[in-house]
Amino acid sequence: MKNPEIEKRIKDLLGRMTLEEKAGQLHQAGGSIVGAFDLSFEEILTMVADGRMTEEEAHKMISTAKRDWHEDDLRAGRIGSYLGLVGSEEMNRMQHIAVEETRLGIPLINGFDVIHGFRTIAPIPLAESCAWEPDLWQRTARMAAEEATAAGIQMTFSPMVDVSKDPRWGRIAESAGEDALLNGLYGEAKVRGYQTDDLTRHDALAACVKHFAAYGAAEGGRDYNRVDMSPQRFEEEYLPSYERAVKAGARAVMPAFNDLNGVPCSVNKKLLTDILRGRWGFDGMTISDANAIAECINHGIAADRREAACLALNAGMDMDMTSGCFLDHVKELVEAGEISMEKLDEAVSDILRLKFELGLFDDPYRSDAEQEKAAMLTPAHLALAREAAQKSMVLLKNDGLLPLKEGARIGLAGALASDGDEMSGTWAGAVQPGDCRSIRDGLDEEKISYAMVTEEPLPDCDVFLCAIGERKAESGEAASRASLELTDADIALLKRLKESGKPVAAVVFAGRPLCLGPAAEYADAILMAWHPGTEAGPAILDLLFGRVNPSAKLTASFPAATGQCPTLYYDHIRTGRPAGKFKYTSKYLDAPVEPLFPFGFGLSYTGYRYSDITAAQTEGGIHAEITVQNTGDRPGSEIVQCYFRDPAARRVRPVRKLAAFEKADLQPGESKRIAFDIPETALGYYDQDMNFVIDDGLIEIHIGGNARDTLQADVRFIREK
């Protein structure tokens, strides 16, 4: 519901704005790097790509250089927003110019990628999704918002809710994995955490849901690549997560870089106007991805920047992130009648609305240096980062080695075991060197003695902790991989340790599922630590020593071989010849068809027994129950997962689909009855003619501790006519 007072103020302002000022509001500017010569971010990236600058040099330059925020343009009303201006003092300085020195005094809105924390870094989103805990997702978003707003930021380009079924895609790290429901719940929790229910609070951060839509389906797992899929699949598997995040109240949406069935999302009217605003009633702001409007020329959909601007604005794009196409061409396009004044006013209104809702007109200076300093890395934030890391790491294998006994003599192997700065993972732009703690830092702090594994001979110890996997730059944007296998060096290290006869616990750092076959062969235990953030080391030790019982479960399947991608995911559709012993079935000659570790999988130091599953139709859907017992001798949290399968439908349906889940806290020996209510709409799908249908007939309910091991109950589901 629009606020009439705000709408009145928008109308009043629109009446006073020139065409140039309107175009200026649509422009988000980045800061140029000031050095011996001025460089834009894009130029730096090009220099890295063609070898004129190393990645390290570029990073150093970006993080330490002075930025030119184009003050003259700001003064002239040619900038409505900044990308990546970090720091309350600098932000206040620019805001003073916007508010006091421009003709109409319209404040700036400052956006930044606050993806999984600001200074205090929580685990990467893919890791945090493995906690299956919306309340945790919301709390870490709040923490990020408290820090980011104190540093002068008012909007984050998060949450990303791109369902990611292909681990070759580096940005799977930023997602909640391969399932639609999990991505939707993750997005909803993040939006609530960032924004709160009062956007005028100084620590409320506007959320920007991205990348709309289906970016996670980029062909071949290659970043920025095309997405081509049936409308049924799009509606059923990819669209729901954006819808949920938008309906949770997100005030901004970012269209994706990719094209969708041939139309780039940046100029896709069906997405930006028909679905987003028409169907979902969104009245917030859309903002392009970086330079994406200009890139419509590369897509071959616009002849030049002018046409790209025209297509994007008419499709429903409000703000142009850094390409400058709107700034340069909107005026002439309106004068030529190719963009109507009404359309332009809609775009400007969406931007002004968010600025009003945030209270920026009445209260533009949100923080100062002292508040900024006090907000960062507080004890409460560090404790939350540690809790999030504990709840995100997945125990994949344990042949009785873990938990380690206090006093065990440790041999520490692998460069990542000592590299705190690698623990932040992708998209942690405000983190400072030394912020994050490695396993070695954790051991030092706890005064646990250990010996480093270097060259021969191996140290004499009771157990080896071996860190393997990916560095942070190996996942995230522009970090797709054609091979998900462990490196030869990692495999050789594991083998060497194993051959010593001492037990080996592998700790895997990565931003994506990897092929962990060799780790499963040579290590007695595997802890999937992902990139766990600020409190990496302490949280890993909490789990390895059993002070905390592992509870996380995978939200993306782990391949046995890279070639299983992209059909690896748990909810793949059924074929006429499911994999079996017979040759002519759907499988590979040279690799298993099943993942090495399935969706939903994760071990703990206790055991759980499932029994007495029941399921019955209710008025609004299906009610299912199961008993779960903690059969071990320590307390634990079990993530109980409820799937369904429609065995005979009008369109081929997935082998199983996650419908609900619950985290059950269980004391040793304790049993709980866990109940799920599945709304009947969750059972529906689109038929060949795009009608949404819910069939009468048999529905199988499968409940268990992972997608592969479940108990089954059948329901004959008959809808009232």
Contact indicator for 392, 131 with CB cutoff of 8 Å: yes
Q: Where would I find the beta strands (DSSP E) of 128-256?
A: 155-156, 206-212, 252-255
Secondary structure (3-state) at 555:
coil
Q: What are phi and psi of 675, to 5 degrees?
A: -115, 145
Parallel, antiparallel, or unpaired for β 608-617 and 621-630? antiparallel
Identity (one letter) of the amino acid at 692?
F
Residue number, 477 or 662, with CB nearest to ligand NOJ: 477
CB 184 within 8 A of CB 240: yes
Q: Please give the helix or strand (H or E) that residue 212 lies within, else none.
A: strand 206-212
x/- mask, ligand NOJ, residues 392-431, rule CB under 6 A, reads: ----------------------------------------
Residue 493 · residue 413 · CB < 8 Å: yes
Query: CA-CA distance, 97 to 515, in Å (whole number)?
Result: 53
Cα distances (Å, whole numbers) of residue 599 to 328, 391, 643, 705: 48, 16, 12, 10
Mark residues 166-205: x for contact with ligand NOJ by CB under 6 A, - for none: ----------------------------------------
C-alpha 502/C-alpha 170 separation (Å) is: 35
Footprint of ligand NOJ on 134-173 (CB under 6 A)? 157
Q: Can you tell me the distance from the alpha carbon of 150 to that of 148, in angstroms, rounded to the nearest whole number?
A: 5
Of residues 179, 223, 289, 571, which has the active-site annotation? 289
Under rule CB under 6 A, which residues in 466-505 are in contact with ligand NOJ? 477
C-alpha to C-alpha distance for 153 and 157, rounded to whole angstroms: 11
Which residue from 172, 290, 560, 707 is in contact with ligand NOJ, where contact means CB under 6 A? Answer: 290
Task: Report strand pairing: 27-30 vs 320-321.
Answer: parallel
Interacting residue with ligand NOJ among 142, 190, 210, 353 (CB under 6 A) = 210
| Least gap, CB of 174 to ligand NOJ (angstroms) | 8
Burial class (CB in 10 A: 0-12, 13-18, 19+), 638: buried
Residues 648-707 that bind ligand NOJ (CB under 6 A): none
289 belongs to the catalytic site? yes
> Residue 9's CB: how many other CB atoms inside 10 A?
15
Q: Does 113 bind ligand NOJ (CB under 6 A)?
A: yes
Contact between 289 and ligand NOJ per CB under 6 A: yes
**Which residues share a beta bridge with 645?**
700
What pairing do the DSSP bridges indicate for beta strands 621-630 and 636-645? unpaired
> If binding is defined by CB under 6 A, does position 295 make contact with ligand NOJ?
no
Question: Please, what is the minimum distance in Å from the beta carbon of residue 433 to ligand NOJ?
Answer: 21
Query: Is the CB of residue 334 less than 8 Å from the CB of residue 341?
Result: yes
- Residue nearest ligand NOJ by beta-carbon distance: 157
Contact between 216 and 234 (Cβ < 8 Å): no
Closer to ligand NOJ by Cβ: residue 265 or 539: 265
How many Å apart are CA 468 and CA 481, to the nearest integer?
Answer: 17
What is the C-alpha to C-alpha distance for residues 174 and 188, in angstroms, rounded to an integer?
A: 15
Q: Annotated catalytic sites, by residue?
A: 289
Applying CB under 6 A, the residues found at the interface with ligand NOJ are 113, 157, 210, 289-290, 477
